[in-house]
Amino acid sequence: MERNTSLDYAQKLDEQDTLRMYRHEFYVQPNTIYMDGNSLGLLSKRAENSVLTLLDSWKEYGIDGWTKGQYPWFYFPELLSEMCAPLVGASKDEVIITGSTTANLHQLVASFYRPEGKRTKIVVDELNFPSDIYAISSQLSLHGLDVKDHMIMVKSRDGYTLEEEDIINALTDDVALIVLPSVLYRSGQVLDIQLLTEAAHKHNIIIGFDLCHSIGSVPHELDKWDVDFAFWCNYKHLNGGPGATGGLYVNRKHFGRKPGLAGWFGSDKEKQFDMSTQMVPAADAGAYQIGTPHILSSAPLLGSLEMFQEVGMEAIREKSLRLTDYMMMLIDLELGEYNFVISNPRESEKRGGHIFLVHEEAARICKALKEHQVIPDFRSPNGIRLAPVALYNSFEDVWNTVQILKRIMEEELYRKYENKRDVVA
């Protein structure tokens, strides 16, 4: 990529972009640059249509919508799972769209954490999203185990990234389970899932990954890498809407394992309505469902995943890397005097779908960006996340974002705000 800071160059890159037509699939607000797709993706017209289609089935069929209509609700999770499976490199029966990120993590830890003898510890990292740590801590407590003694928290050397070597060194003989992020939510670092999984299995340790910040942005090969389990949300890069139903993956080698948290929708579908007091779990990842599917919270995924099927993850990843490469180049050349530090990895193989800028005035700068119709994401205490999304952001969006940021710094427009986060950051 040329070291060219002109608007003409950004527009030239957009003309060459093979995915540019997908921008028109989304509700991009006029005169607004949306750079927060790694927190909540934008609504697409196809997702909107999917919601209306599922609402119509409720309107027309009532209770019979479970088995009638274009998309019978009883089988809707499996339909979405089949569409989603290629995004994580899995077979359709290893994936189920269900629950939420934290509920699914609780289910998976309850299913795979079997403390026995001296193997009682769980390895996590200090940079993971706090909700994961809360869930794992509560699971340890449910086993009557002291979190301080049984949770091994891998430390970061620089406060932003992790060294795979440090994680591997934590894999001692008293470890029963490892739960890590695939992409760190602050810095956007991509962990080497294959390397870590191989290391875990050498020690006979079960390993699972939180894919919230990678699914829909970074390709995965969970089957090829022999990952034991994974879980994720669908409202970030997959544009499933606020509170969209989550997803989980269970490697087929674990099929038949009894789910830790049983619920009637984890039943074999042929036997579910027998209403027996003895549960017969599904033979695949469907066994890890608990309650009735959230149909209207899953509906947007039907339209959104259709686009991912059309485009493919390789094309999305290629454009995503070009967008973030371009943004880093502009930041280096245009904002060098303003004390911004790019704290995400610069290497393509280690970088997810967003840029992480550190600045002592980050909270104020984010407020100023919003006033100028650029939507960023603030992360306490001093981080600015900017996510140019392949399906709906353009190179011109990136150029304009950096120019607006430059003006904010030149004219010190951020000084009118308090340097602290809002209630929701």
* Per-residue pLDDT reduced to its tens digit, 36-71: 999 999 999 999 999 999 999 999 999 999 999 999
pLDDT digits (tens, 9 = 90+) for 372-402: 999 999 999 999 999 999 999 999 999 999 9
Domain positions in the chain? 7-31+312-416, 49-310
Question: How many other C-beta atoms are found inside a 10 Å radius of the C-beta of residue 21?
Answer: 8
Which residues of the chain carry a pLDDT beneath 50?
Answer: none
The answer to whether the CB of 136 falls within 8 A of the CB of 179 is yes
Q: Do domains 7-31+312-416 and 49-310 have the same CATH topology?
A: no
Q: What's the pLDDT at 210? A: 98
CA dihedral 245→386→310→98, nearest 10 degrees, is -10
Question: How many other C-beta atoms are found inside a 10 Å radius of the C-beta of residue 168?
Answer: 17
pTM > 0.75 = yes
Residue numbers in the known binding site are 101-102, 129-132, 210, 213, 235, 264, 292
Name residue 270's amino acid.
E
pLDDT digits (tens, 9 = 90+) for 144-190: 999 999 999 999 999 999 999 999 999 999 999 999 999 999 999 99
Q: Which CATH class is domain 7-31+312-416?
A: alpha beta
The answer to whether the CB of 183 falls within 8 A of the CB of 210 is no
Distance CA 395, CA 17 (A): 9
Q: What's the pLDDT at 423? A: 60
Residue numbers in the known binding site for pyridoxal 5'-phosphate are 101-102, 129-132, 210, 213, 235, 264, 292
Cis peptide before 130 (omega within 30 of 0): no
Distance CA 204, CA 188 (A): 29
Place of tokens 């995924």: 301
Distance CA 383, CA 374 (A): 16
User: Helices 395-410 and 7-15, interaxial angle, to 10°?
Assistant: 160
User: Which residue(s) pair with 386 in the sheet?
Assistant: 355
Domain range 49-310, its CATH number among 3.40.50.150, 3.40.50.1360, 3.10.20.600, 3.40.640.10: 3.40.640.10
User: In the sheet where 151-154 sits, what is the strand order?
Assistant: 95-97, 247-250, 229-232, 206-210, 175-181, 121-125, 151-154
